[in-house]
Each structure stands twice: as structure tokens, then as C-alpha cells.
Structure 1
Amino acid sequence: MSFTFAPIGHIRSPYTDKFGIPRQPGLVTAAEARVELLPDFAREEAFKGLEGFSHVWLLFVFHEDCLIAGWSPTVRPPRLGGRESVGVFSSRAPYRPNPIGISAVEQLGLVKDGRGLALEVRGVDLLDGTPILDIKPYVPYADSIPGARSGFATAPEIVAADVDFSAEALQGIAEADPTGARRLRTLIEQVLAQDPRPGYMGRYPERREFGLRLYDLNVRWRIDGNTMCVVTVEPLVDTAAGGRIGEA
């Protein structure tokens, strides 16, 4: 038996590259996005009653290289430093038999504009362009289970790291987000506070400078002790290369 699903829309998020995406939803509250619905599903009546729910589940497809790479029975979660293997069904890794993911995010309501009908959301952990298969309301009495065990995923995600900005970086933020609508400075602070470097980076302590993509920007920073120092925030020039790990 097999099934075929078509997306109802696509996410438009600040994360235009995989590097820098938080490992779970809700960790970067400044990450606002929208689910842009395809014409067949862009019907306001399909969302009647959703205003009573603060959060929704987004069911999505891990796309791009996940579809090409296929699945693996074991994976190395970042939470374990990329050194220990666990079963794929004990993880949330994207390389699955069916590359389907689920994220609980805050919903901010519908908006209708020149791009069509969209559901605005906050706290996303999804790559820009991710296909959305379904939207379901989050129901606290059933979806939140007091006392549930979390296996190896027990350590807090947020890293106690300071984030500092150079004068040049602050100027770049002011130019890229003059009205503050993108909450760009807060977004960068929250993303870097998660320490987006892969677990294996502990084996390369000499590497101190990095870059990542947010929106159409290249954010460059360096590690200085326990501080993430943002050096520059600049428009992307080479979109094929910008934001890859290790670039500066």
C-alpha cells in the first residue's frame, strides 16, 4: 500500500540555508514566517475557528537533499555531539523512510495580500520553501503530557552564550531592517544563542569564524571565549555559497 500527498502550501521563513536553523521549534521566537497557501486551499472558511487556538501543528516534508539521500536506520543526533548513533525512529532526524516532519508553532492569524492567503506563524524551525502537507490545531490537554520522558533529549537547547555586535554589524542591521519589522537583531541573537555549529565542531577548536544566511543576508560572526561576536551583516552576493559553515 502506498500513498501520494500534495502540499497545501509552502513556508516562507528567515532560514534560507539549513545551517543556523534551530534544532526544535519555539526556541527562536523572533523567527516569524508565513504558510503561503496554494490556490486550491486558499479558502478562509478552511480556517474558521482557528482563532481560538494559540498554536498549530505544521506537518511538512523534509525536502532538498533529504529526498535524494534516502533514509538510514541509524543517525547521529546533534544533541549527542554527532558522535553517538541512535535509531532513526528514536530521533527527529530528517533522513527517514518517509521524510515527514512535524512542528508546533504559534499562529498569528490569516493575512491576505498580493501573494494570496497565508497563515502567519512564529517560532518556526523550517527552511524557506518547505512544503506544508497539513495544519492542525495544537490542543494542550491532549498534546502536552505531564511527566513524559524525553530520553537523551534532556539537556536544555539554549546555550549560555553572550552575543555582541560590532559597529559595522549594527549598521548592516539598520540598513537591512530600517523599520525593525524583521526583528533582525533579536533574530540573530536568538539564533546564535543556540550555538548553531554542528556537534562535531568540538573537534576543531581552532575554527573561530563562521557565516550563516538569514533572509537575503550573510551574517558573519566569530567565537571569542564564551561570546558570539557578530562581525558583519551584509546582503548576499553569491547566493550559492553564502552562509555555508566555515565561511566568513
Structure 2
Amino acid sequence: MNQSTPIESSYQVVPIGKVISPFKQKFTVPRQPRLLSLAKGYIELFKPFDDLHALSSLADFSHIWVLFWFHLNPENKSASFEQYKWQPMVRPPRLGGKEKVGVFASRSPFRPNPIGMSVYKLDGIEKNSKGIKIHINGIDVVDGTPVIDIKPYIPFSDSVTDAKGGFAQDIPVMPFNVIFSDKALAELYHLAKNQGHSESYAKEVEQFILQVLSQDARPSYHQNKMNVDMSKKQYGVDLLEYNIKWLLDENQVIITDVSLTKNR
């Protein structure tokens, strides 16, 4: 049996597809899967993996495990494992970014092998002229994230009712109340209508935006400025095909403007 260490051996990982996600920037992504019920998207399979035979019987499962690559880590461009800058101790946001834990006791993206895993609700499998889409719900990755494997979620073995969650035992509390200004809400519905979307679609987008911004969608370096008054500062983010602008007034987020993203 080969006892080689990872540094002495290498293993090839080939992306089988990518996630098409409503989150266009890292700082808006939920920190765990299934926290936002309206975070919907799909996995687009690459050739030669876009084969319905490979997905046979997958639709019988309600949820799937998705393994993915943290491709936006700056260090991922390193030429070799020896040059990759992983961190043995990290500061989980759940602990306020102040306390350190071991990287293997966290889900930090800065790992020896930057592999993530999440369980998503499987909403359906679609085959069309452009390929195969695996529709998923509860997404917690940025748009374009490479997928390296898909596995079915098996309740009797994957769900442990008496499991301990360490520092992340409880569901996180959403810190902010979020409201639309009258102007911003009218803009959203007007844009959706002009794009040919239904009013029900616009309503779901409205609720999705409220979900995202309630979790504190500011960049982390702003979230950590505890002693600096960041109130009334204008923020912006791209979600789906819309650019959302808002300001933070004490513990309330006020959405002030909605427009189409510039790359459309």
C-alpha cells in the first residue's frame, strides 16, 4: 500500500460542471447551505458528463451533496501544493471573527485542498438543446463555482439526530430588518415587467433580496469595524440580473435603488 503523503503525490480533480448562482460576489453568499430558502439556481454539467445515464435515479432523492472547488481563493493560482497558502488556524465568522479554531474544525475555504461540500434541495433535472441543468435550492456558493462531484443525500446515514455542532450548534440569527423604499420597490416590479417576467416572479425576487440583505451582506472588512460608524453608508450588490443599492440605518437596511446590472 502506498504510504506517500499528499505533498509527495498529486491527484487530478476534473470539474464536472459549474453552479449558476444568484450570488455574483463572495460577500453576499450565505455561510451555510439552505439558510436562504429562495436561493435557487442550477448546476450546468460539462461534456462528457452531461449524460442523462449518469443521472439515472437521482430524481428519486429529494436532496443532493455537491462537492465544489473554492476557485476564488487568490492562492488557488499557485503552481504546486507546496506553494499553496493554507492556514492551520482560522477565525470563523460565527465566532465574530475574533476567536481561532483549527481549520479542520471549520468550513473555511482556506484549506490544504480548497474543497467545499453542501447539501441542496433537488428541484428537478432538465434536458434541453443546450445541455443538462440540475436545479437546486438553498445555494451557498458564488456564481460560476466549479463542481467536482454530486452524490445523493441519504437520510438514514447522513442525518444524525443527536449530533453536536460545536460553536455552530444553532441556526444563526439574521441581524437586520430590511425594507424597500417605495421608489426601489416600484423599480423592481417595473424592470421585471419590462423583461417579460410575471408579477409572481417579481414577488419572489423581492423576498429573495430581503432574505439576502437580512444576513448582513456587507464586505467582511466593513462587518468587522465594530467601533466605526458605518451607518448611512451606501452599499451595492448584484443579485440575479439586478443591482441593488442600500444603506444601513442602525439595525435596519433600507433598499434605495434597483437597476439592471451593467453586464446585461
TM-score of the superposition, structure 2-length normalised? 0.84
When residues 57 and 232 of structure 1 are mapped into structure 2, their CA distance, relative to the original with a 3 A threshold, is same
Give the letter aligned to residue 258 of structure 2.
V
Q: Is residue 234 of structure 1 aligned with residue 234 of structure 2?
A: no
Among 188, 200, 205, which residue is 2:224 paired with? 200
Q: Distance in 1 between matches of 2:109 and 2:191?
A: 32
Among 28, 31, 43, which residue is 2:51 paired with? 43
Aligned-pair identity (%): 38
Partner-residue secondary structure (3-state), 1:10: strand
Q: Distance in 1 between matches of 2:246 and 2:108?
A: 27
Worse-matched range after superposition: 116-125 or 82-91: 82-91
Q: Distance in 2 between matches of 1:116 and 1:94?
A: 30
Deviation readout 1:24-83 (Å, 9 max, x if unpaired): 000111111110001201111211111221100000000023414731111111111111
Deviation readout 1:55-114 (Å, 9 max, x if unpaired): 000000000234147311111111111112211111101011100000100001111234
Q: Distance in 2 between matches of 1:17 and 1:173?
A: 20
Partner-residue secondary structure (3-state), 2:167: coil
Q: Is residue 157 of structure 1 aligned with residue 172 of structure 2?
A: yes
Partner-residue secondary structure (3-state), 1:152: helix
**Equivalences for residues 1-150 of structure 1 within 5 A:** 1-66=9-74, 67-68=76-77, 70-150=85-165
Give the letter aligned to residue 211 of structure 1.
G
Q: Distance in 1 between matches of 2:228 and 2:169?
A: 25
Worse-matched range after superposition: 146-155 or 122-131: 146-155
Q: Is residue 189 of structure 1 aligned with residue 210 of structure 2?
A: yes
Q: Distance in 1 between matches of 2:26 and 2:130?
A: 24
- How many positions carry a matched residue from both structures? 239
Unaligned runs of 5+ in 1: 240-248
Worse-matched range after superposition: 98-107 or 72-81: 72-81
Q: Distance in 1 between matches of 2:228 and 2:156?
A: 45
Worse-matched range after superposition: 161-170 or 195-204: 195-204
Unaligned runs of 5+ in 2: 1-8, 78-83
Q: Distance in 2 between matches of 1:74 and 1:91?
A: 9
Q: Distance in 2 between matches of 1:72 and 1:20?
A: 23
Partner-residue secondary structure (3-state), 2:165: coil
Q: Distance in 2 between matches of 1:105 and 1:201?
A: 33
Instruction: Return the offset for 1:226.
Output: 2.9
The higher radius of gyration belongs to: 2
Instruction: Return the offset for 1:207.
Output: 3.9
User: Does the 8 Å CA contact 1:16/1:216 hold for their aligned counterparts?
Assistant: no
Q: Distance in 2 between matches of 1:235 and 1:100?
A: 33
Partner-residue secondary structure (3-state), 1:202: coil
User: Does the 8 Å CA contact 2:213/2:253 hold for their aligned counterparts?
Assistant: yes
Q: Distance in 1 between matches of 2:112 and 2:99?
A: 21
